[in-house]
Amino acid sequence: MARIFITGSSTGLGLLAAQRLLTQGHEVLAHARNEQRAADLHKALPEVPIVIGDLSLIEETRSVAEQVNTLGRPDAVIHNAAVYQVPHRIETGDGLCLTFAVNVLAPYLLTALIKRPDRLVYLTSGMQSGARAKLDDAQWTRRRWDWMQAYSESKLFDTMLAFGVARRWPQVHANSVNPGWVPTRMGGAGAPDDLELGMQTQAWLAAGDDREAAVTGQYFFHQRSSPVPELARRPGDQDALFEYCAELTGQPLA
C-alpha cells in the first residue's frame, strides 16, 4: 500500500485519481484550496485526510507542504492542481502571474519542501508543444496577455520540472503526464478525450507495481511514453527554471 498526495483533488482528474487509488487499497492525502472546497471534498472522500491551502500564494503553499509532512512522508505526489482559461492577467498577492504561480511555482515549491517521495508525477498538456517558455517574461508583465500561450508555457515548464528533478534526484521516479483534453470542469463538456484514460496514467505512475511504471524522466500520454519539445530536456534550461523559482520563493531545490 502506498500513500499518495494529490494537489487539486477536490474536483476533476485529481478527485478521480484519488477515488481510483483508494479502490486499489492505497492511502490518499487530498488537497483543497479553501475550507469550502474541503467541506465539499469531505463529502466525496469522507475517510481521507485533507490539507488546505491556496497554491497561488507562496506562504499558503509552504503551509500545504508543512501539513503534508506532519501527516507523514508520502510515497508519491501527483502535482495535479492548475488553472487554465484565465481571461486576463491576474496578479496574485505575491505580485506574480496567477497562471505561473499555480501551475509552475507551486509544484516547484512543494517538490522542494515535501519530504522526498519515491515518485513524482507532474501533469502537463499536449499544448506544451506550442510553447516558447520565455523565462525573461514568465510573469507576462511586458507581453500582451494571451491565456493560451501562458498556459502552454506553464505546462512546458512543468515537464521541465519533472525532467530536471529526474536528473537531480536519480533515486526518485519523476515523470510528466498529458491527460488529454478531457471533459472536466476545466476541459469543458465538449472535450473529446476519454475521462477514464485521462486519469489512469498518473494513478499508475504514482502507485503501479509493474516494471513499466518504475521509470523516470519520461513524458506520458495514455500510459505510453511520447516525445517532448527539445527545450524540455536541456539541463541548462531546467537549471535556469529552478534558479528562477528559487529566487521567487527563497527556496532552492536540493
Considering 84, 108, 122, 155, which one is annotated as catalytic? 155
What distance, in Å, lies between the first and last C-alpha atoms of the chain?
Answer: 28
219 is catalytic: no
Reduced to 3 states (helix: H, G, I; strand: E, B; else coil), residue 88 is coil
- The residue among 252, 240, 213, 28 whose CA lies nearest residue 121 is 213
Give the integer Cα–Cα distance in Å for 65 and 44.
23
Quickly tell me which residue has 537531480 as its cell.
Answer: 168
Quickly tell me which residue has 478531457 as its cell.
Answer: 182
- The residue among 155, 125, 129, 166 whose CA lies nearest residue 253 is 166
Considering 108, 151, 219, 244, which one is annotated as catalytic? 151
Grid coordinates representing 226 are: 511520447
Quickly tell me which residue has 492511502 as its cell.
Answer: 27
Which residues lie across from 250 on neighbouring strands?
Answer: none
For residues 249, 57, 22 and 183, what is the CA-based torsion angle, rounded to 10 degrees? -110
Please name the amino acid found at residue 94.
D
Grid coordinates representing 231 are: 527545450
151 is catalytic: yes
Which residues lie across from 175 on neighbouring strands?
Answer: 121
Give the integer Cα–Cα distance in Å for 158 and 154.
6
Task: Locate the DSSP E strands across 127-244.
Answer: 173-178, 219-221, 224-225
Active site residues: 151, 155
